[in-house]
């Protein structure tokens, strides 16, 4: 079973490259990231090392360098990050936050149809109102 890995925003950028390529050398990661951000190669190598230490990446020796491969699955890691965020906010604000995310996201027609089906099912058992969960035992009107 995969363990939950706490990944920083900078590390997410490295992981996106390695998930997309399935495996990559540090040189490949550096070349790609330098097209996007102004980071020194040493900084990128530090991020790779930290991801190996966290158990997110594995290394395989190739000559004088290494090939980096993901040890954690992309969708599972994204789901865990989303769960962590939504478990941290007031339940009264989840709907508005989801609306904000959906409004700013590029979605395919298939994604939209899947969300519509999911919402139809969720609506069947949805409460009229969601109460604040910030202070246990107290129904509050968060704003």
Q: Give the integer Cα–Cα distance in Å for 3 and 44.
A: 24
Calculate the dihedral angle through the C-alpha atoms of 100, 106, 112, 115, rounding to the nearest 10 degrees: -40
pLDDT category of residue 139 using cuts at 50, 70 and 90: low
Q: Is 104 helix (H, G, I), strand (E, B) or coil?
A: helix
pTM of this structure: 0.81
85: its two tokens: 């965020």
16: exposed, middle or buried (Cβ count in 10 Å: 0-12, 13-18, 19+): middle
139: its two tokens: 């129904």
- What tens digit of pLDDT does each residue of 43-72 get? 999 999 999 999 999 999 999 889 999 999
- What tens digit of pLDDT does each residue of 104-134 get? 999 999 999 999 999 999 999 999 998 888 8
Check if the beta carbon of residue 3 is closer than 8 Å to that of residue 55: yes
């Amino acid at each position: 079973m995969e363990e939950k890995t706490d990944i920083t925003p900078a590390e997410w950028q490295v992981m996106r490259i390695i998930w997309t390529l399935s495996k990559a050398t540090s040189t490949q990661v550096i070349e790609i990231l330098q097209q996007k951000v102004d980071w020194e190669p040493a900084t990128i190598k530090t991020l790779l090392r930290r991801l190996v230490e966290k158990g997110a990446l594995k290394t395989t020796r190739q000559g004088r360098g290494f090939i980096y491969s993901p040890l954690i699955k992309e969708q599972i890691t994204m789901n865990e990050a989303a769960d962590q965020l939504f478990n941290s906010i007031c339940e009264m604000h989840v709907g508005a936050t989801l609306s904000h995310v959906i409004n700013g996201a590029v979605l395919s027609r298939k994604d939209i149809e899947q969300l519509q089906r999911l919402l139809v099912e969720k609506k069947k058992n949805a409460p009229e109102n969601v109460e604040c969960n910030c202070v246990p035992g107290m129904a509050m009107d968060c704003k």
